[in-house]
Protein backbone atom coordinates (compact mmCIF):
# COMPACT_ATOMS: atom_id res chain seq x y z
CA UNK A 1 0.00 0.00 0.00
CA UNK A 2 2.77 2.41 1.05
CA UNK A 3 4.72 1.60 -2.12
CA UNK A 4 1.63 2.32 -4.19
CA UNK A 5 1.15 5.68 -2.44
CA UNK A 6 4.77 6.58 -3.09
CA UNK A 7 4.32 5.89 -6.79
CA UNK A 8 1.86 8.78 -7.21
CA UNK A 9 4.20 11.65 -6.14
CA UNK A 10 7.07 9.99 -8.02
CA UNK A 11 4.96 9.84 -11.17
CA UNK A 12 3.98 13.52 -10.74
CA UNK A 13 7.63 14.43 -10.24
CA UNK A 14 8.62 12.47 -13.34
CA UNK A 15 5.93 14.16 -15.45
CA UNK A 16 7.02 17.55 -14.11
CA UNK A 17 10.60 16.74 -15.09
CA UNK A 18 9.48 15.78 -18.62
CA UNK A 19 7.44 18.98 -18.80
CA UNK A 20 10.53 21.07 -17.88
CA UNK A 21 12.65 19.13 -20.36
CA UNK A 22 10.21 19.79 -23.20
CA UNK A 23 9.89 23.50 -22.33
CA UNK A 24 13.69 23.87 -22.15
CA UNK A 25 14.23 22.01 -25.42
CA UNK A 26 11.62 24.18 -27.12
CA UNK A 27 13.48 27.29 -25.93
CA UNK A 28 16.85 25.98 -27.09
CA UNK A 29 15.50 24.92 -30.49
CA UNK A 30 13.25 27.90 -31.11
CA UNK A 31 14.33 30.07 -34.04
CA UNK A 32 15.45 33.69 -33.80
CA UNK A 33 14.49 36.40 -36.22
CA UNK A 34 17.57 37.03 -38.35
CA UNK A 35 17.15 40.66 -39.16
CA UNK A 36 18.25 43.16 -36.56
CA UNK A 37 18.03 46.68 -37.88
CA UNK A 38 20.49 48.68 -35.82
CA UNK A 39 19.61 51.84 -37.71
CA UNK A 40 16.26 51.83 -35.97
CA UNK A 41 17.88 52.01 -32.54
CA UNK A 42 18.37 55.73 -31.76
CA UNK A 43 20.87 55.18 -28.94
CA UNK A 44 23.17 53.28 -31.32
CA UNK A 45 22.56 54.92 -34.70
CA UNK A 46 23.00 58.36 -33.23
CA UNK A 47 22.36 61.47 -35.23
CA UNK A 48 23.39 63.87 -32.50
CA UNK A 49 26.62 64.53 -30.64
CA UNK A 50 26.58 63.47 -27.00
CA UNK A 51 28.54 65.54 -24.50
CA UNK A 52 29.16 62.94 -21.81
CA UNK A 53 32.33 62.54 -19.79
CA UNK A 54 33.50 59.15 -18.57
CA UNK A 55 35.77 57.41 -16.11
CA UNK A 56 36.81 53.78 -15.96
CA UNK A 57 36.01 52.24 -12.57
CA UNK A 58 38.59 49.48 -12.44
CA UNK A 59 38.95 49.31 -8.67
CA UNK A 60 35.94 47.74 -6.94
CA UNK A 61 36.18 49.85 -3.81
CA UNK A 62 36.29 53.10 -5.80
CA UNK A 63 33.37 51.87 -7.88
CA UNK A 64 31.39 51.30 -4.66
CA UNK A 65 32.35 54.73 -3.34
CA UNK A 66 31.24 56.37 -6.60
CA UNK A 67 27.88 54.58 -6.34
CA UNK A 68 27.41 55.80 -2.78
CA UNK A 69 28.37 59.35 -3.69
CA UNK A 70 25.93 59.70 -6.58
CA UNK A 71 23.14 58.32 -4.38
CA UNK A 72 24.10 60.85 -1.68
CA UNK A 73 24.02 63.67 -4.26
CA UNK A 74 20.73 62.59 -5.89
CA UNK A 75 18.16 65.37 -6.16
CA UNK A 76 15.27 63.87 -8.15
CA UNK A 77 15.56 60.24 -9.21
CA UNK A 78 17.54 57.09 -8.46
CA UNK A 79 16.97 54.22 -10.88
CA UNK A 80 18.51 50.84 -10.09
CA UNK A 81 18.38 47.55 -12.04
CA UNK A 82 20.63 44.67 -10.94
CA UNK A 83 20.99 40.95 -11.54
CA UNK A 84 22.44 40.12 -8.13
CA UNK A 85 22.22 41.91 -4.81
CA UNK A 86 23.91 40.53 -1.69
CA UNK A 87 23.06 42.10 1.68
CA UNK A 88 26.52 42.90 3.01
CA UNK A 89 28.48 45.84 4.44
CA UNK A 90 28.86 47.81 1.21
CA UNK A 91 25.27 47.27 0.13
CA UNK A 92 23.93 48.04 3.64
CA UNK A 93 25.53 51.47 3.29
CA UNK A 94 23.95 51.93 -0.12
CA UNK A 95 20.55 51.00 1.29
CA UNK A 96 21.08 53.50 4.16
CA UNK A 97 21.96 56.20 1.62
CA UNK A 98 18.90 55.28 -0.46
CA UNK A 99 16.58 55.65 2.54
CA UNK A 100 18.16 59.05 3.26
CA UNK A 101 17.66 60.11 -0.36
CA UNK A 102 14.02 58.94 -0.29
CA UNK A 103 13.47 60.84 2.99
CA UNK A 104 14.63 64.07 1.33
CA UNK A 105 12.12 63.53 -1.50
CA UNK A 106 14.14 61.68 -4.13
CA UNK A 107 12.05 59.22 -6.13
CA UNK A 108 13.74 55.79 -5.93
CA UNK A 109 12.91 52.96 -8.35
CA UNK A 110 14.71 49.79 -7.33
CA UNK A 111 14.47 46.66 -9.47
CA UNK A 112 16.20 43.31 -9.04
CA UNK A 113 16.01 40.02 -10.84
CA UNK A 114 13.41 37.98 -8.94
CA UNK A 115 15.41 34.75 -8.85
CA UNK A 116 18.93 35.94 -8.13
CA UNK A 117 18.57 38.65 -5.48
CA UNK A 118 19.20 38.00 -1.81
CA UNK A 119 17.09 40.79 -0.26
CA UNK A 120 15.56 39.66 3.02
CA UNK A 121 11.82 39.98 3.50
CA UNK A 122 12.05 42.66 6.20
CA UNK A 123 14.18 44.88 4.02
CA UNK A 124 11.87 44.35 1.04
CA UNK A 125 8.94 45.45 3.19
CA UNK A 126 10.81 48.46 4.55
CA UNK A 127 11.80 49.59 1.06
CA UNK A 128 8.37 49.09 -0.46
CA UNK A 129 6.63 50.78 2.47
CA UNK A 130 8.54 54.04 1.93
CA UNK A 131 6.33 56.54 0.05
CA UNK A 132 9.24 57.55 -2.21
CA UNK A 133 10.61 54.08 -2.93
CA UNK A 134 9.15 51.58 -5.37
CA UNK A 135 10.51 48.04 -5.43
CA UNK A 136 10.04 45.67 -8.34
CA UNK A 137 11.29 42.18 -9.09
CA UNK A 138 11.80 40.95 -12.64
CA UNK A 139 10.12 37.73 -13.77
CA UNK A 140 9.21 35.98 -10.50
CA UNK A 141 9.43 32.18 -10.37
CA UNK A 142 6.37 30.47 -11.87
CA UNK A 143 6.64 26.71 -11.28
CA UNK A 144 4.16 25.83 -14.02
CA UNK A 145 5.66 28.10 -16.66
CA UNK A 146 9.25 26.91 -17.21
CA UNK A 147 9.31 29.02 -20.37
CA UNK A 148 9.66 32.05 -18.07
CA UNK A 149 12.57 30.73 -15.99
CA UNK A 150 15.33 31.75 -18.36
CA UNK A 151 14.09 35.33 -18.82
CA UNK A 152 16.61 36.90 -16.44
CA UNK A 153 17.40 40.55 -15.85
CA UNK A 154 21.19 40.65 -16.19
CA UNK A 155 21.70 44.43 -16.40
CA UNK A 156 23.81 46.29 -13.83
CA UNK A 157 22.52 49.86 -13.91
CA UNK A 158 22.53 52.75 -11.47
CA UNK A 159 21.18 55.99 -12.95
CA UNK A 160 20.84 59.22 -10.96
CA UNK A 161 19.01 62.39 -12.05
CA UNK A 162 19.65 61.62 -15.74
CA UNK A 163 23.11 62.97 -14.93
CA UNK A 164 25.10 59.95 -13.74
CA UNK A 165 25.24 56.32 -14.80
CA UNK A 166 27.38 53.54 -13.37
CA UNK A 167 27.23 50.32 -15.36
CA UNK A 168 29.48 47.40 -16.19
CA UNK A 169 30.17 43.95 -14.85
CA UNK A 170 29.68 44.44 -11.14
CA UNK A 171 26.63 43.20 -9.29
CA UNK A 172 26.04 44.62 -5.80
CA UNK A 173 27.87 42.97 -2.91
CA UNK A 174 31.16 42.87 -0.99
CA UNK A 175 32.87 40.49 -3.39
CA UNK A 176 32.67 43.26 -6.01
CA UNK A 177 32.96 46.42 -3.90
CA UNK A 178 34.75 45.79 -0.59
CA UNK A 179 38.17 47.23 0.23
CA UNK A 180 39.59 44.04 1.72
CA UNK A 181 39.58 41.27 -0.85
CA UNK A 182 38.06 38.04 0.41
CA UNK A 183 38.66 34.62 -1.22
CA UNK A 184 35.73 34.93 -3.62
CA UNK A 185 36.62 38.52 -4.64
CA UNK A 186 36.21 39.24 -8.34
CA UNK A 187 38.25 41.63 -10.47
CA UNK A 188 35.63 43.53 -12.38
CA UNK A 189 35.07 46.73 -14.31
CA UNK A 190 32.46 49.49 -14.54
CA UNK A 191 32.21 52.81 -16.29
CA UNK A 192 30.93 56.05 -14.82
CA UNK A 193 29.18 58.34 -17.29
CA UNK A 194 28.67 61.94 -16.29
CA UNK A 195 26.67 64.68 -18.01
CA UNK A 196 28.38 67.92 -16.97
CA UNK A 197 25.63 70.13 -18.37
CA UNK A 198 22.10 68.83 -17.95
CA UNK A 199 20.99 70.88 -20.98
CA UNK A 200 23.37 68.96 -23.29
CA UNK A 201 22.35 65.88 -25.20
CA UNK A 202 23.57 62.71 -23.48
CA UNK A 203 23.54 58.94 -23.84
CA UNK A 204 22.30 58.88 -20.23
CA UNK A 205 18.86 59.94 -21.51
CA UNK A 206 18.74 56.80 -23.67
CA UNK A 207 19.90 54.61 -20.78
CA UNK A 208 17.24 56.07 -18.49
CA UNK A 209 14.62 55.50 -21.20
CA UNK A 210 15.70 51.85 -21.41
CA UNK A 211 15.42 51.54 -17.63
CA UNK A 212 11.88 52.94 -17.71
CA UNK A 213 10.89 50.48 -20.47
CA UNK A 214 12.29 47.65 -18.37
CA UNK A 215 10.48 49.03 -15.33
CA UNK A 216 7.13 49.25 -17.17
CA UNK A 217 7.48 45.86 -18.85
CA UNK A 218 4.91 43.16 -18.02
CA UNK A 219 7.73 41.05 -16.49
CA UNK A 220 8.52 43.60 -13.76
CA UNK A 221 6.27 43.05 -10.76
CA UNK A 222 5.69 45.54 -7.97
CA UNK A 223 6.53 44.24 -4.50
CA UNK A 224 3.69 45.34 -2.24
CA UNK A 225 3.80 44.44 1.47
CA UNK A 226 0.46 43.85 3.15
CA UNK A 227 -0.78 46.96 4.96
CA UNK A 228 -1.16 45.16 8.28
CA UNK A 229 2.56 44.45 8.21
CA UNK A 230 3.53 48.08 7.80
CA UNK A 231 4.38 48.51 11.47
CA UNK A 232 7.16 45.94 11.03
CA UNK A 233 8.85 48.07 8.39
CA UNK A 234 10.21 50.83 10.63
CA UNK A 235 12.85 48.83 12.45
CA UNK A 236 14.91 47.66 9.44
CA UNK A 237 14.86 51.16 7.96
CA UNK A 238 16.16 52.60 11.25
CA UNK A 239 18.90 49.97 11.40
CA UNK A 240 20.19 50.76 7.91
CA UNK A 241 20.09 54.50 8.52
CA UNK A 242 21.81 54.19 11.90
CA UNK A 243 24.54 52.06 10.37
CA UNK A 244 24.98 54.59 7.57
CA UNK A 245 25.12 57.51 10.07
CA UNK A 246 27.63 55.68 12.28
CA UNK A 247 29.89 55.03 9.33
CA UNK A 248 29.70 58.71 8.42
CA UNK A 249 30.47 59.73 12.00
CA UNK A 250 33.55 57.53 12.11
CA UNK A 251 34.65 59.05 8.79
CA UNK A 252 35.17 55.67 7.20
CA UNK A 253 36.58 55.97 3.72
CA UNK A 254 33.73 54.13 2.03
CA UNK A 255 31.04 56.46 3.20
CA UNK A 256 32.97 59.72 2.88
CA UNK A 257 34.21 59.67 -0.67
CA UNK A 258 35.33 62.89 -2.32
CA UNK A 259 34.70 63.23 -6.02
CA UNK A 260 34.93 66.34 -8.17
CA UNK A 261 33.02 64.93 -11.14
CA UNK A 262 34.24 67.54 -13.65
CA UNK A 263 37.85 66.70 -12.85
CA UNK A 264 37.35 62.99 -12.12
CA UNK A 265 35.82 62.22 -15.53
CA UNK A 266 37.40 62.80 -18.93
CA UNK A 267 35.99 64.04 -22.22
CA UNK A 268 35.25 61.40 -24.84
CA UNK A 269 34.41 61.79 -28.54
CA UNK A 270 31.11 59.91 -28.54
CA UNK A 271 28.95 57.63 -26.37
CA UNK A 272 26.37 55.10 -27.55
CA UNK A 273 24.11 52.56 -25.87
CA UNK A 274 22.68 49.21 -26.88
CA UNK A 275 20.32 46.84 -25.05
CA UNK A 276 18.74 43.51 -25.86
CA UNK A 277 14.98 43.46 -26.43
CA UNK A 278 12.77 43.03 -23.39
CA UNK A 279 10.82 39.88 -24.15
CA UNK A 280 10.55 36.23 -23.14
CA UNK A 281 12.16 33.39 -25.07
CA UNK A 282 14.87 33.85 -27.69
CA UNK A 283 15.54 37.50 -28.20
CA UNK A 284 16.75 39.19 -31.34
CA UNK A 285 20.52 39.42 -30.79
CA UNK A 286 20.74 43.20 -30.80
CA UNK A 287 23.92 43.61 -28.76
CA UNK A 288 25.68 40.74 -30.49
CA UNK A 289 24.80 42.20 -33.90
CA UNK A 290 26.01 45.63 -32.78
CA UNK A 291 29.32 44.16 -31.60
CA UNK A 292 29.79 42.34 -34.87
CA UNK A 293 29.23 45.57 -36.76
CA UNK A 294 32.01 47.13 -34.69
CA UNK A 295 34.23 44.10 -35.34
CA UNK A 296 33.68 44.38 -39.09
CA UNK A 297 34.89 47.96 -39.01
CA UNK A 298 38.04 47.08 -37.04
CA UNK A 299 41.32 47.95 -38.77
CA UNK A 300 44.00 46.52 -36.55
CA UNK A 301 42.98 44.99 -33.22
CA UNK A 302 40.14 43.58 -31.14
CA UNK A 303 40.62 42.65 -27.50
CA UNK A 304 37.78 40.90 -25.69
CA UNK A 305 37.75 40.38 -21.93
CA UNK A 306 34.92 38.19 -20.72
CA UNK A 307 34.49 35.89 -17.72
CA UNK A 308 32.70 33.27 -19.85
CA UNK A 309 33.21 32.62 -23.54
CA UNK A 310 30.95 30.03 -25.18
CA UNK A 311 30.51 30.89 -28.87
CA UNK A 312 27.72 28.49 -29.87
CA UNK A 313 26.86 27.47 -33.44
CA UNK A 314 23.75 29.62 -33.24
CA UNK A 315 25.83 32.71 -32.37
CA UNK A 316 28.13 31.98 -35.30
CA UNK A 317 25.19 31.49 -37.65
CA UNK A 318 24.09 35.04 -36.98
CA UNK A 319 27.37 36.55 -37.95
CA UNK A 320 31.10 35.89 -37.75
CA UNK A 321 32.41 36.24 -34.21
CA UNK A 322 35.94 37.09 -35.12
CA UNK A 323 36.90 39.06 -38.23
CA UNK A 324 39.46 38.48 -40.94
CA UNK A 325 43.06 37.57 -40.24
CA UNK A 326 44.40 41.10 -40.77
CA UNK A 327 42.89 42.14 -37.47
CA UNK A 328 44.72 40.89 -34.37
CA UNK A 329 42.28 39.35 -31.91
CA UNK A 330 42.92 38.66 -28.23
CA UNK A 331 40.61 36.90 -25.81
CA UNK A 332 41.15 37.18 -22.06
CA UNK A 333 39.06 34.94 -19.82
CA UNK A 334 39.17 32.84 -16.66
CA UNK A 335 41.30 29.73 -16.29
CA UNK A 336 40.33 26.41 -14.81
CA UNK A 337 42.09 27.56 -11.64
CA UNK A 338 40.35 30.92 -11.35
CA UNK A 339 36.80 30.28 -12.57
CA UNK A 340 34.05 30.26 -9.94
CA UNK A 341 31.38 29.36 -12.55
CA UNK A 342 31.65 25.63 -13.27
CA UNK A 343 28.77 25.46 -15.75
CA UNK A 344 30.01 28.35 -17.87
CA UNK A 345 33.57 27.05 -17.81
CA UNK A 346 32.41 23.60 -18.92
CA UNK A 347 30.91 25.30 -22.01
CA UNK A 348 34.19 27.14 -22.65
CA UNK A 349 36.13 23.86 -22.45
CA UNK A 350 34.01 22.56 -25.33
CA UNK A 351 34.68 25.61 -27.46
CA UNK A 352 38.32 26.20 -26.54
CA UNK A 353 39.68 24.29 -29.57
CA UNK A 354 37.67 26.50 -31.96
CA UNK A 355 38.65 29.69 -30.16
CA UNK A 356 42.32 28.86 -30.32
CA UNK A 357 42.04 28.58 -34.12
CA UNK A 358 40.06 31.80 -34.48
CA UNK A 359 41.78 34.24 -32.11
CA UNK A 360 45.40 35.30 -32.43
CA UNK A 361 45.93 34.99 -28.72
CA UNK A 362 43.92 33.38 -25.92
CA UNK A 363 44.84 34.33 -22.35
CA UNK A 364 43.56 32.71 -19.17
CA UNK A 365 43.73 34.63 -15.89
CA UNK A 366 45.77 32.80 -13.24
CA UNK A 367 45.85 35.39 -10.43
CA UNK A 368 44.49 35.13 -6.90
CA UNK A 369 40.84 35.97 -7.70
CA UNK A 370 38.69 35.62 -10.81
CA UNK A 371 37.95 38.04 -13.64
CA UNK A 372 34.37 39.21 -14.17
CA UNK A 373 34.74 42.34 -16.35
CA UNK A 374 32.92 42.35 -19.66
CA UNK A 375 34.74 44.73 -22.01
CA UNK A 376 36.04 45.06 -25.54
CA UNK A 377 38.66 47.38 -27.01
CA UNK A 378 38.84 47.96 -30.77
CA UNK A 379 41.69 49.75 -32.60
CA UNK A 380 42.81 51.59 -29.44
CA UNK A 381 39.78 53.85 -29.88
CA UNK A 382 36.41 52.15 -29.32
CA UNK A 383 35.69 50.77 -25.84
CA UNK A 384 32.69 48.63 -24.92
CA UNK A 385 31.69 48.11 -21.29
CA UNK A 386 28.53 46.47 -20.00
CA UNK A 387 26.85 43.35 -18.72
CA UNK A 388 27.27 41.27 -21.90
CA UNK A 389 29.17 37.97 -21.56
CA UNK A 390 30.44 36.31 -24.71
CA UNK A 391 27.91 33.50 -24.60
CA UNK A 392 24.51 32.49 -25.84
CA UNK A 393 22.68 33.55 -22.65
CA UNK A 394 23.83 37.13 -23.15
CA UNK A 395 23.21 36.96 -26.91
CA UNK A 396 19.67 35.55 -26.98
CA UNK A 397 18.25 35.01 -23.49
CA UNK A 398 19.06 37.67 -20.87
CA UNK A 399 18.29 41.34 -20.73
CA UNK A 400 21.66 42.99 -21.28
CA UNK A 401 23.04 46.46 -21.86
CA UNK A 402 26.33 47.93 -23.06
CA UNK A 403 27.89 51.34 -23.45
CA UNK A 404 30.13 52.09 -26.44
CA UNK A 405 32.68 54.86 -25.87
CA UNK A 406 34.79 56.37 -28.59
CA UNK A 407 37.88 58.30 -27.55
CA UNK A 408 41.63 57.74 -27.39
CA UNK A 409 42.23 58.71 -23.77
CA UNK A 410 39.49 56.43 -22.44
CA UNK A 411 40.76 53.59 -24.65
CA UNK A 412 44.24 54.06 -23.16
CA UNK A 413 42.80 53.56 -19.67
CA UNK A 414 41.06 50.38 -20.77
CA UNK A 415 44.27 49.15 -22.41
CA UNK A 416 46.18 49.64 -19.14
CA UNK A 417 43.46 47.69 -17.31
CA UNK A 418 43.72 44.84 -19.84
CA UNK A 419 47.52 44.86 -19.54
CA UNK A 420 47.26 44.45 -15.77
CA UNK A 421 45.01 41.40 -16.19
CA UNK A 422 47.27 39.97 -18.92
CA UNK A 423 50.29 40.29 -16.58
CA UNK A 424 48.59 37.77 -14.31
CA UNK A 425 47.39 35.57 -17.16
CA UNK A 426 48.78 32.59 -18.99
CA UNK A 427 49.13 32.71 -22.77
CA UNK A 428 47.22 29.60 -23.84
CA UNK A 429 47.78 29.89 -27.57
CA UNK A 430 49.26 32.16 -30.21
CA UNK A 431 48.19 32.07 -33.87
CA UNK A 432 46.59 28.67 -33.42
CA UNK A 433 49.57 27.12 -31.66
CA UNK A 434 49.04 25.82 -28.14
CA UNK A 435 51.54 26.86 -25.50
CA UNK A 436 52.66 24.81 -22.52
CA UNK A 437 49.57 24.62 -20.24
CA UNK A 438 49.58 26.36 -16.86
CA UNK A 439 49.80 23.96 -13.90
CA UNK A 440 46.41 22.90 -12.59
CA UNK A 441 45.99 23.68 -8.90
CA UNK A 442 43.27 21.10 -8.30
CA UNK A 443 43.19 17.77 -10.10
CA UNK A 444 39.70 17.17 -8.66
CA UNK A 445 38.33 20.40 -10.17
CA UNK A 446 39.95 19.57 -13.51
CA UNK A 447 38.40 16.09 -13.60
CA UNK A 448 35.01 17.45 -12.54
CA UNK A 449 35.06 20.17 -15.23
CA UNK A 450 36.11 17.73 -17.92
CA UNK A 451 33.21 15.41 -17.07
CA UNK A 452 30.81 18.35 -16.78
CA UNK A 453 31.88 19.66 -20.19
CA UNK A 454 30.63 16.43 -21.78
CA UNK A 455 27.32 16.57 -19.93
CA UNK A 456 26.51 20.20 -20.69
CA UNK A 457 26.84 19.99 -24.48
CA UNK A 458 23.04 19.78 -25.07
CA UNK A 459 22.40 22.84 -22.91
CA UNK A 460 25.39 24.97 -23.90
CA UNK A 461 23.12 27.77 -25.07
CA UNK A 462 21.77 28.12 -21.53
CA UNK A 463 25.03 27.99 -19.57
O1 LIG B 1 28.28 36.50 -13.45
P2 LIG B 1 27.26 37.29 -14.18
O3 LIG B 1 26.67 38.40 -13.40
O4 LIG B 1 27.76 37.75 -15.52
O5 LIG B 1 26.04 36.27 -14.47
C6 LIG B 1 26.25 35.11 -15.20
C7 LIG B 1 25.01 34.32 -15.48
O8 LIG B 1 25.35 33.21 -16.24
C9 LIG B 1 23.93 35.09 -16.19
O10 LIG B 1 23.87 34.77 -17.52
Report the sign of the C-alpha dihedral through residues 387, 306, 68, 222, in that order. Answer: positive
For residue 389 and ligand 1, the question of a CB distance below 6 A is answered with: yes
Q: Is 156 in the pocket of ligand 1 (CB under 6 A)?
A: no
> If you measure from the C-alpha of residue 308 to the centroid of ligand 1, how many angstroms do you get, rounded to a whole number?
9
By most ligand atoms within 8 Å of CB, the mutation choice from 341, 388, 400 for ligand 1 is: 341
C-alpha 238 – ligand 1 centre gap (Å): 33
**Tens-place pLDDT, residues 397-447:** 999 999 999 999 999 999 999 999 999 999 999 999 999 999 888 999 999
- From the list 292, 287, 311, the residue with the least C-alpha distance to 387 is 287
Rounded distance from Cα 341 to ligand 1 centre (Å): 9
319 has pLDDT over 90: no
Cα torsion 52, 56, 59, 60 to 10°: value is 50
Domain ranges (residues) in the chain = 36-45+270-462, 53-262
Burial environment of residue 173 by CB neighbours within 10 A (0 to 12, 13 to 18, 19 or more): buried
Q: Ligand 1 within 6 A of 398 CB?
A: yes
Distances (CA, A) of 430 to 219, 298, 300: 45, 20, 17
CB 111 within 8 A of CB 80: yes
Residue 393 CA, ligand 1 centroid: distance in Å: 9
C-beta of 151 in contact with ligand 1 (< 6 A): no
Ligand 1 atom nearest to CA at 389 = 4
Rounded to the nearest angstrom, the distance between the alpha carbon of 105 and the centre of ligand 1 is: 34
Q: What is the pLDDT of residue 155?
A: 98
CB 159 within 8 A of CB 204: yes
Region of poorest pLDDT, from 59-63, 208-212, 334-338, 437-441: 437-441
CA of 154 to the centre of ligand 1 (A): 7
Average pLDDT, stretch 33-47? 85
- Does the C-beta of 170 come closer than 6 Å to ligand 1? no
Q: What is the DSSP letter of 299?
A: S
Ligand 1 centroid from CA 117, angstroms: 13
Query: Mean pLDDT lowest for which of 71-75, 224-228, 336-340, 367-371?
Result: 224-228
Closest-lying ligand 1 atom to the alpha carbon of residue 463: 8
State the pairing for strand pair 190-194/53-57. Answer: antiparallel
Query: Residue 179: what pLDDT?
Result: 85
Burial 178-214 (b: 16+ CB within 10 A, else e): bbeeeeebbbbbbbbbbbeeeeeebbbbbbbebbeeb
pLDDT band at residue 9 under the 50/70/90 scheme: confident
Q: How far is the CA of 149 from the centre of ligand 1 (A)?
A: 14
State yes or no: pLDDT of 394 exceeds 70. Answer: yes
Residue 101 in this model has a pLDDT that exceeds 70: yes
Closest Cα to atom 5 of ligand 1: 154
Nearest CA to ligand 1 atom 10: 393
Q: pLDDT at position 153, please?
A: 98
Q: Side by side, which strands form the sheet with 425-430? A: 270-275, 401-406, 382-386, 375-378, 301-305, 328-334, 361-365, 425-430, 433-434
**Residues 159-187: pLDDT tens digits?**
999 999 999 999 999 999 998 888 899 99
Q: What is the mean pLDDT of the chain?
A: 91
pLDDT of residue 10: 87
Write the pLDDT tens digit of every residue in 218-257: 999 999 876 565 566 667 788 888 888 877 765 565 666 7
Q: Give me the interface pTM, i.e. the ipTM.
A: 0.96
pTM, two decimals, is: 0.94
Q: Do domains 36-45+270-462 and 53-262 have the same CATH topology?
A: yes
| Spacing, Cα 114 to ligand 1 middle (Å) | 14
Q: Out of 25-29, 133-137, 323-327, give the one with best mean pLDDT.
A: 133-137
What's domain 36-45+270-462's superfamily in CATH?
Endonuclease Chain A (3.30.870.10)
Q: Of 190, 227, 460, whose CA–CA distance to 345 is shortest?
A: 460
In this structure, the residue with its CA closest to atom 9 of ligand 1 is: 154
CATH code, 53-262: 3.30.870.10
- C-beta of 171 in contact with ligand 1 (< 6 A): yes
Amino acid sequence: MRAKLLKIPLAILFLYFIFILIATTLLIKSPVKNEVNLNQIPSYAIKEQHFDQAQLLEDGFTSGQARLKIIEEAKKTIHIAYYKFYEEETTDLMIGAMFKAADRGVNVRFMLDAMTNYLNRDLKRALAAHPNIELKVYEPFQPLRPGTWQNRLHDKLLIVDEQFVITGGRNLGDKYLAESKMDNFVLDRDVLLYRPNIEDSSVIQHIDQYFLTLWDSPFSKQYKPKLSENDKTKEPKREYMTYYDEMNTFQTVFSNPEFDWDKYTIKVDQTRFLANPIERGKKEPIIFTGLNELFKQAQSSIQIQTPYVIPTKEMKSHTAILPNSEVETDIITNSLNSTPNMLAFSGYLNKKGELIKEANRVYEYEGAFSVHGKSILIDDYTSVIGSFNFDSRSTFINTESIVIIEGKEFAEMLQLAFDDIIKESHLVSENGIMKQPAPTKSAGKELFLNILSKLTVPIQSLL
